[in-house]
Structure 1
Amino acid sequence: MSAGNHSFVTEFVIVGFPGLQPEFYGLVSTVLFLVYCCILIGNVVVLILFATHNVLHKPMYFIILNLVVSDILFSTTTLPKIIARYWFQAGAISFFGCFFQMYLVHYFGSVTSFLLLIMALDRYVSICYPLRYPMVINNSTIHIFNVTAWVLAHPPSLAMVTRAYHLPYCDSNTIMQCYCDHVSITTLACTDRAPYGLSAFVVAMLALLGPLAFIIFSYCSIIVAVLKIASTQGRLKTLSTCSGQLIIIALYYLPRCFIYLSSNIGIRFSTDLRIVIIMLYSLLPPMINPLIYCLRTEEIKQILVKRFRKTQVRVQ
């Protein structure tokens, strides 16, 4: 803790859902533990499939690989602590540890946002400029884009944490959230939060709405291109290649935009409901995405079908 920020708080306490009765702590911790296991198992399966099948070493799957890594790291950053809070009543987190978790939360969120932009770019070039696709989008360019996403997500996340870290914290240390994030921490500061909250909101909107603006543009262009296809079967086949990505993008962006905008235009709802929505958009995509990858991407689906058939033959 910096001695110059006049903070008397040495640790924070993660409350989680403030309205939750103690008799439900065991149930909630069990559910969160099962969610964490599902996230790990599903995403690790995708990693294993990618590592063992060269047919998946294509641009789109390298993007998916980075999304899988980001989902695993985000879930590992947030879930173990809130599980421990309800399972073992261990909700305390050190001052530095809370800000480090805050950095990781916003960092992995920004990384995912940039990766979804790259995913939309891949589909945009593939459908709108199919003849140029092999030249524009290849493994080398995708590697550069993916590394860029991980690098670009660092400065805004670090800036948010640095500004929040040096605020004075001298009163309450209870965080009404399941993990440390910018809003839940800075609301505890013994100073006017408005200047810091506004700058953090602008950064968050740039990290969210900047990629989202291009994603909307790219898919509008894709729809226009699809409508120009003469055959209905061709239109459906082309759209099916984007359906998985659209589901992933919708799961990530729609709830986030709702929470960010509602808190800044005066829409009020209970703290517990707000936290439930935040946990849904934080944990549902990492849990659902592996199913989307496996069911909506042709190569992975074929690999799983072949393995299932081999298993049936061995059993017989």
Structure 2
Amino acid sequence: MLLTNITTIKDFFIVGFPGLLPEYYGPVSALLFLLFLAIAVGNVFILVIVKYEKSLQKPTYLIFCHLALTDLMFGTVTLPRVISKYWSDNSIISFYACFTQMFFVHYLASTHSFILMVMALDRFIAICVPLRYTSLFTNTTVNGLCGISWIMPISWMVTLVVDAMKLPFCNSNIIVQCYCDHNSIISLGCENVRFSAILALGFAMFCLLVPLAFIILSYIFIIVVVLQRSSSTGRIKTLSTCTPQLIITGLYYFPRCFVYLANFVGFTFNVSLHIFIVMLYSHIPAAVNPLIYCFKTQDIKEILKIKWSKVKIHLTTKTF
């Protein structure tokens, strides 16, 4: 509990999807639970298969593991609370639990963005300087770069949370969102929140635009190098190795950039639609990414085929 010069806030009330009728609470909670289950099962599967398959313990797949871990943690931090709201009508979240959730929401999103930058670097080195790839981009290098991606945003997010906690709050403790995020919390502040908003925007733009600029430049260089190759078959084959990374990157950045640009040009969504869009681009990629890892990467696809063949042989043998 934090004492401000206005009032004492002990708990916050999570609205979820505004205007949702009670008769839809059950179906919505079931859909959110299935989404959480897909995120948990898919990303745990990626972590396990890379852990136990020695042939997959390469830089590219280690990056996939780091991305899977951020997706798994983000779903675990955000979805159980909103599922509980619609499943058991539990809309209350404590003051400190709300700010803890806010920290992890923005921290994990920032970490994910920087790991995508590492993934782009992986493709850049593999295609532009392939002969030096194994010496430049080792497992140790990948874990070091991803480790920096995990550590770097911590101090920024702590600053963001501490600044928001210092705000004097009015009597309203209603958060119009499915989870605690910075914008929803500072909108409850009684004094001028301009500094808090600018601070958050600065961190958000840095964590979003710096990795995105690096990713765009990397793929421009990749395309230039690929186009210089004489064989059209070789070009297609080389670009196909980038397909999983491009899809994953697009799923993360395009919706966010669309929302930011829409707000910048003055186009505003109604509250319900905005919350729905945020939930979609925050969670659907986390559920879809494991499928992309499995069906768009040759090594994992081959391992799954081999294991499925063994299962079919075992079942056939058992039948006879």
- 1:101 aligned residue: 101
| SS at 2:196 equivalent | helix
Rounded to whole Å, the distance in 1 between the matches of 2:21 and 2:4 is 39
| SS at 2:9 equivalent | coil
Rounded to whole Å, the distance in 2 between the matches of 1:12 and 1:187 is 13
- 2:86 aligned residue: 86
Over the matched positions of the two proteins, sequence identity in percent amounts to 47
Q: Which amino acid aligns with 1:66?
A: H
1:125, distance to aligned residue in structure 2 (A): 0.7
Structure 1 gaps, min length 5: none
Which region of structure 1 is more displaced relative to structure 2, 257-266 or 241-250? 257-266
Do 1:107 and 1:154's aligned partners in 2 also have CA atoms closer than 8 Å? yes
- 2:284 aligned residue: 284
Q: Which amino acid aligns with 2:106?
A: H
| 1:19-52 CA-partner distances (Å, limit 9, x unpaired) | 2111111110000000000111111111121121
| 1:153-211 CA-partner distances (Å, limit 9, x unpaired) | 21221111111111011221111111000001111111122221122111101000010
Rounded to whole Å, the distance in 1 between the matches of 2:106 and 2:81 is 17
1:10, distance to aligned residue in structure 2 (A): 1.3
Rounded to whole Å, the distance in 1 between the matches of 2:79 and 2:255 is 19
1:258, distance to aligned residue in structure 2 (A): 2.1
Q: Which amino acid aligns with 1:311?
A: V
Do 1:77 and 1:105's aligned partners in 2 also have CA atoms closer than 8 Å? yes
Which region of structure 1 is more displaced relative to structure 2, 251-260 or 178-187? 251-260
Do 2:164 and 2:196's aligned partners in 1 also have CA atoms closer than 8 Å? yes
Do 2:74 and 2:108's aligned partners in 1 also have CA atoms closer than 8 Å? yes
- 1:257 aligned residue: 257
| SS at 1:13 equivalent | strand
Counting matched residue pairs gives: 316
Do 2:3 and 2:9's aligned partners in 1 also have CA atoms closer than 8 Å? no
1:6, distance to aligned residue in structure 2 (A): 4.2
Do 1:171 and 1:190's aligned partners in 2 also have CA atoms closer than 8 Å? no
Do 1:5 and 1:166's aligned partners in 2 also have CA atoms closer than 8 Å? no
- 1:118 aligned residue: 118
- 1:215 aligned residue: 215
Q: Which amino acid aligns with 1:132?
A: R
| SS at 2:13 equivalent | strand
- 2:275 aligned residue: 275
- 1:157 aligned residue: 157
- 1:204 aligned residue: 204
- 1:294 aligned residue: 294
- 1:228 aligned residue: 228
| 1:82-113 CA-partner distances (Å, limit 9, x unpaired) | 00001101010001110000000001001100
Rounded to whole Å, the distance in 2 between the matches of 1:169 and 1:97 is 16
Rounded to whole Å, the distance in 2 between the matches of 1:43 and 1:170 is 40
2:69 equivalent to 1:69: yes
1:313, distance to aligned residue in structure 2 (A): 1.1
Q: Which amino acid aligns with 2:65?
A: L
Runs of 4+ off more than 3 Å: 4-7
Q: Which amino acid aligns with 1:310?
A: K
- 1:239 aligned residue: 239
Rounded to whole Å, the distance in 2 between the matches of 1:5 and 1:54 is 58
Rounded to whole Å, the distance in 2 between the matches of 1:179 and 1:229 is 49
Structure 2 gaps, min length 5: none
Rounded to whole Å, the distance in 1 between the matches of 2:28 and 2:157 is 30
1:2, distance to aligned residue in structure 2 (A): 3.0
Q: 1:76 to 1:5 in 2, by over 3 A?
A: farther
1:149, distance to aligned residue in structure 2 (A): 0.6
- 1:192 aligned residue: 192
- 1:304 aligned residue: 304
Do 2:4 and 2:169's aligned partners in 1 also have CA atoms closer than 8 Å? no
Rounded to whole Å, the distance in 2 between the matches of 1:265 and 1:95 is 34
1:4, distance to aligned residue in structure 2 (A): 4.8
Q: Which amino acid aligns with 1:34?
A: L
| SS at 2:18 equivalent | coil
| TM-score, normalised with respect to structure 1 | 0.97
1:276, distance to aligned residue in structure 2 (A): 0.9
Q: Which amino acid aligns with 1:129?
A: V
1:5, distance to aligned residue in structure 2 (A): 5.5
Rounded to whole Å, the distance in 2 between the matches of 1:240 and 1:7 is 58
| SS at 2:170 equivalent | coil
- The within-5 A match list for 1:39-58 is 39-58=39-58
| SS at 2:241 equivalent | helix
Which region of structure 1 is more displaced relative to structure 2, 163-172 or 97-106? 163-172
| TM-score, normalised with respect to structure 2 | 0.96
Q: Which amino acid aligns with 1:36?
A: F
